[in-house]
């Protein structure tokens, strides 16, 4: 097991290196980090240009620039953004903002997927099963940004409801449609958590709905397969209570592949978070990557890729290890 993990870690580092080379080559060949300077009117002096080029190492050959970046990165220095801020500081804050949304969405999606998947399998070919299947296909076919806009629109209508008999149930806003928090946070811890939660609700529901769809299909298929197995039939024949068969014998076994699928799909959740953040105006990883791409900000882009890359690879590794632990029959070699 240890050998397997070590070997995987080694290949992961190689993949990350290759990804950084690819990204560096693309940014270096496609973009001009000084484009915004050039567009300025009146144009800055030639002297200033030379200074900026030297500061960004643009006067050096590409290979040397990559080497300088790699050297800095391997020493923990992620470099600076084009406007001189520290990349690690920027991304550090953004990462936790995105994590907040992704974790909330993943939890919701797992809960929904298990509920719907198990129900559909147990009541196979019932009206409920067909309705659940249809619903998950609809969410599979829906672009994230449109669902986000849709929920946003409905939430605005909901908040702007007229009063009920003189009572204003929505007077104090509980749902927010922009930003990850209010510009001025309330002081008490309780109110602050409420503020976070109010901002979190709509984006994470959006992300959860587009994520749960494929997971519930998967859980349904797994559950059907397990329910059809010999050991479940044996347990029933022995007279084990139906509920116990369902939970102890069927569900527990059907959860094994589900766990690994969730761990592998975490990367897709974070990718979906990028667009959700854009619609809801959050300043998380999505905002950072859009800025990085727009300005050809090499340091920011590469650090972003490395951070999400480590995250995705980490969860893939966890998925493999989990599978080995949960299902001892599958021996990883």
Partner 1 sequence: MTELDRGPSLPDESPIIVQEMAAIESSATEASEGPEREFTVAARSQFRIVLRRFLHHKLAVVSLVILILLFFMSLFGGAMWKYRPTDETNDLSSPPSMSHPMGTDSSGHDYYALVLAGAQKSVEIALIVAVVTGVVGTAIGAIAGYYGGFTDSVLMRITDLFLVVPELVIFALLANKFASAGWEFLALSLAGVLWVYAARVIRGVFISLREKDYVEAARALGASNRRIIFRHLLPNATGPIIVNITVITATAVLLETSLSYLGLGVRYPDTSLGSLISIYQEASTTRPWLFYFPGVLIVLICLTVNFVGDGLRDAFDPGSRRVRA
73 near partner 1, judged by CB under 8 A: no
301 — phi, psi (to 5°)?
-65, -45
309 near partner 1, judged by CB under 8 A: yes
55 near partner 1, judged by CB under 8 A: no
CA 217/CA 91 separation, integer angstroms: 35
Q: Which of 48, 67, 137, 231 binds partner 1 (CB under 8 A)?
A: 137
SS3 content of the chain, % helix, strand, coil (to 5): 75, 0, 25
24 near partner 1, judged by CB under 8 A: no
Q: Which is nearer to partner 1, 195 or 277 (CB)?
A: 277
289 near partner 1, judged by CB under 8 A: yes
Question: What does the buried/exposed string (b/e) look like for 292-323 if buried means 16 or more CB atoms within 10 Å of the residue's CB?
Answer: beebbbbbbbbbbbbbbbebbbebbbebbbbb
Q: Which of 9, 15, 54, 62 binds partner 1 (CB under 8 A)?
A: 15
Closest approach of Cβ 64 to partner 1, in Å?
A: 22
271 near partner 1, judged by CB under 8 A: yes
Q: Which residue intervals of 31-143 are DSSP H helices? A: 35-38, 46-55, 62-74, 87-122, 127-140
CA 62/CA 295 separation, integer angstroms: 18
Q: Which of 106, 152, 87 is nearest to 289 (CA)?
A: 87
User: 218 to 237, contacts with partner 1 by CB under 8 A?
Assistant: 218, 220-221, 224-225
3-state secondary structure of 169: coil
Q: Which is nearer to partner 1, 103 or 293 (CB)?
A: 293
22 near partner 1, judged by CB under 8 A: yes
User: 157 to 176, contacts with partner 1 by CB under 8 A?
Assistant: 157
Q: Please check whether residue 110 is in contact with residue 207, taking contact to mean a CB–CB distance below 8 angstroms.
A: no
Q: Please check whether residue 27 is in contact with residue 295, taking contact to mean a CB–CB distance below 8 angstroms.
A: no
For 96, residues 6+ apart whose C-beta sits below 8 A from its C-beta are none
Q: Which is nearer to partner 1, 195 or 280 (CB)?
A: 280
214 near partner 1, judged by CB under 8 A: yes
Instruction: Count CB-CB contacts under 10 A for residue 68.
Output: 13
CA 149/CA 177 separation, integer angstroms: 10
275 near partner 1, judged by CB under 8 A: yes
Q: Which is nearer to partner 1, 195 or 274 (CB)?
A: 274
Q: Which of 113, 144, 202, 246 binds partner 1 (CB under 8 A)?
A: 144
Q: Which is nearer to partner 1, 195 or 307 (CB)?
A: 307
274 near partner 1, judged by CB under 8 A: yes
Q: Which of 31, 128, 194, 314 binds partner 1 (CB under 8 A)?
A: 31
Residues that bind partner 1 (CB under 8 A): 11, 15-16, 18-19, 22-23, 26-27, 30-31, 137-138, 140-146, 149-150, 153, 156-157, 214-215, 217-218, 220-221, 224-225, 261, 267, 271, 274-275, 278, 289-290, 293-294, 296, 301, 305, 308-309, 312-313, 316
């Amino acid at each position: 097991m240890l050998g397997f993990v070590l070997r995987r870690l080694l290949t992961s580092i190689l993949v990350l290196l290759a990804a950084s080379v690819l990204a560096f080559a693309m940014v270096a060949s496609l973009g001009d980090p000084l484009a915004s300077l050039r567009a300025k009117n009146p144009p800055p002096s030639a002297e200033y240009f030379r200074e900026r080029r030297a500061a960004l190492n643009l006067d050096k050959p590409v290979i040397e620039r990559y080497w300088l970046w790699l050297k800095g990165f391997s020493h923990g220095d992620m470099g600076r953004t084009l406007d001189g801020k520290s990349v690690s500081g920027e991304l550090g804050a953004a990462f936790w903002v995105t994590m907040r949304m992704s974790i909330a969405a993943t939890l919701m999606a797992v809960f929904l997927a298990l509920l719907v998947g198990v129900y559909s399998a147990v009541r196979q070919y019932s009206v409920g099963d067909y309705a659940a299947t249809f619903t998950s296909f609809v969410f599979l076919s829906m672009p994230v940004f449109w669902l986000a806009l849709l929920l946003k629109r409905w939430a605005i209508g909901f908040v702007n409801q007229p009063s009920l008999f003189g009572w204003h149930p929505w007077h104090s806003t509980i749902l927010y449609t922009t930003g990850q928090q209010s510009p001025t946070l309330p002081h008490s811890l309780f109110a602050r958590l409420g503020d976070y939660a109010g901002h979190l609700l709509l984006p994470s529901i959006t992300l959860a709905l587009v994520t749960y769809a494929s997971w519930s299909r998967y859980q349904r298929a797994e559950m059907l397969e397990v329910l059809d197995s010999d050991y479940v039939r044996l347990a029933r024949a022995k007279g084990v209570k139906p509920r116990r068969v369902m939970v102890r014998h069927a569900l527990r076994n059907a959860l094994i592949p589900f766990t690994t699928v969730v761990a592998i799909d975490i990367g897709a959740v974070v990718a979906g978070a990028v667009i959700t953040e854009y619609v809801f105006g959050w300043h998380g990883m999505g905002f950072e990557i859009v800025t990085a791409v727009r300005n050809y900000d090499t340091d920011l882009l590469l650090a972003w890729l490395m951070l999400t890359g480590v995250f995705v690879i980490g969860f893939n590794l966890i998925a493999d290890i989990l599978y080995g632990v949960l299902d001892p029959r599958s021996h990883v070699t």
